[in-house]
Amino acid sequence: MYQKIVKVINRAGIHARPAALLVQTAKDFECEISFEREDDRINGKSIMGIITLGAAFGAEITIIAEGKDEKEAVEALAKLFENKFEEE
């Protein structure tokens, strides 16, 4: 298992477009991917799950992956957060 804590730094938070971008990226990997916020843990390959996290600006999310390409998956997803989902 590999995990990393990221922060939502784009002003609009995670809405439909960033959620779709996360799912598209997650589906490129074979490992199991989850996002965790507070007490909620959702499937990282589910757009509805990601949207239901309600992650606004400043929210901290833990990206968790388990499988053969887990490190690459987490780093690719974390980069989307760091780049503000290419929105700003």
What is the pTM for the complete model shown?
0.95
38-46: long-range contacts, CB 8 A cutoff, minimum separation 24: 44/77
Residue 87: per-residue pLDDT: 77
Phi and psi torsions of 74, nearest 5°: -60, -45
Q: Which of 10, 13, 15, 20 is catalytic?
A: 15
Active site residue 15: yes
Enumerate the β-bridge partners of residue 33: 65
Reported as type and span, the H/E element at residue 40 is strand 40-43
The whole-number average pLDDT for the span 5-33 is 96
Q: Which residue type, as a one-letter code, is found at position 30?
A: E
pLDDT in tens, 29-78: 999 999 999 999 999 999 999 999 999 999 999 999 999 999 999 999 99
